[in-house]
Amino acid sequence: MNSAARLALYGAGLVVAFGGAFAAAAAVVPDSFVASWAEGSSMNAHGEEHGGSDVTAAGHVPNGLSIDAAGFVLSPVEAPGAVDAEGELSFRVQTVLGEPVIEFAEAHEKDLHLIVVRTDGSEFRHVHPSLDRATGTWSLPWKWDAAGAYRVYADFTPATEGAESITLTRTVDVAGDFTPVTAELRRAVEVDGFSVSLEGNLVAGSSSNLTISVNRDGEPVTALEPYLGAFGHLVALREGDLAYLHVHAEGDEPRAGGTAGPEIGFVAEAPTAGRYLLYFDFQVDGKVHTAEFVIDAAHGDTHGSGSESHSDEPGGH
């Protein structure tokens, strides 16, 4: 990979702007998840130690925890109600007056990105439904592989000059035997024959450098293809309340037929300590693969820098 491409990749930006507005989160997230996060997370004590600065700094609903924002509302999500039942997942983006929205600004080559994940962080999917402009309904064929409660996120940008991305969410319950998954710390994973690893730490209140590397059969992969207008794509969720951020690697738009790798860099800023779930999408030979990581964001006064040792997983490389 030439130096220009490498610099473009390392210009990636990731700002995990999650706050602690648990009262607002309870309107969408089940009370048990909000309570467990508030009770078990060191983030809660961190905010108290610093005079509640976490709540003050985040005087808004954290991204991806509300059914409405900026005058837009996500309709109830229609989907199959049980595991293995084939059907359709559908919803509408509406105005506060109930009018369907059919005009969007394209972002990352799509008018809308749909993220679906179970509330324990498993069963992640990133897909792109189709819009029926006559009704304003987004839909795609759908089947659930596992039971449980799921968060459905619609990430879009209004067709208004200067508008910013909006993420709205609903919860869908799927009947069946539920087997929860515990999010264990992991920085190195095997997916579809690729070895994908994450370097760097998240430190609350500080910018942190993260680098994701892709290898196959012990050799670096330099054939990462453009996917949704970038060479890498990242979704970050905070464990517990599942506050959300949908990002792409920044830099110059990849040229048609261009490739990159094996490393993609991001700059992350987590304002609170706690556990984060990271989902990295990359494309090789026309197929998209997803690597899932779990890392902890440390207190800023504990390590002071995001570039030190990986205290959350000794020997994780």
Q: Using alpha carbons, select from 293, 287, 295, 277 the residue that is nearest to residue 117.
A: 277
Q: Say if residue 265's pLDDT is above 70.
A: yes
> What proportion of the chain, given as a percentage, has pLDDT over 90?
57
* Separation of alpha carbons 225 and 153, rounded Å: 25
- Encoding tokens for residue 5? 């491409």
Residue 246 confidence class, pLDDT cut points 50, 70, 90 = low
Cβ contacts of residue 146 below 8 Å, gap of 6+?
83, 118, 122, 123, 174, 176, 178, 179
245 has which bridge partners? 236
**Lowest mean per-residue pLDDT among 44-48, 62-66, 115-119, 279-283:** 44-48
Residue 286: how many other CB atoms lie within 10 Å: 7
Instruction: Return phi, psi of residue 33, to 5°.
Output: -70, -40
Average pLDDT, the chain: 79
Residue 251 confidence (pLDDT): 60
pTM, two decimal places: 0.78
* pLDDT tens-digit series, residues 88-102: 999 999 999 999 999
Residue keyed to tokens 């990242």: 234
CA distances for 65 relative to 23, 107, 140, 200, 291, angstroms: 10, 21, 23, 27, 24
* pLDDT tens-digit series, residues 28-63: 444 344 334 334 333 333 333 333 333 323 344 568
Instruction: Return phi, psi of residue 191, to 5°.
Output: -145, 120
**Is 289:283 a contact under the CB 8 Å cutoff?**
yes
The full 3-state SS of the chain, as one line of letters, equals: CCHHHHHHHHCCCCCCCCCCCHHHHCCCCCHHHHHHHHHHCHHHHHHHHCCCHHHHHCCCCCCCCCCEECCEEECCCECCCEECCCEEEEEEEEECCCCECCCEECECCECEEEEEEECCCCCCEEECCEEECCCCEEEEEECECCCEEEEEEEEEEECCCCCCCEEEEEEEEEECCCCCCCCCCECEEEECCEEEEEECCEECCCEEEEEEEEEECCEECCCEECECCECCEEEEEECCCCCEEEEECCCCCCCCCCCECCEEEEEEECCCCEEEEEEEEEEECCEEEEEEEEEEEECHHHHCCCCCCCCCCCCCC
* Separation of alpha carbons 127 and 121, rounded Å: 16
- Encoding tokens for residue 90? 């559908």
Domains of the chain: 3-17+183-303 (2.60.40.1940)
Q: Say if residue 76's pLDDT is above 60.
A: yes
Average the pLDDT over 198-226 and give the result.
Answer: 90
* Separation of alpha carbons 190 and 291, rounded Å: 8
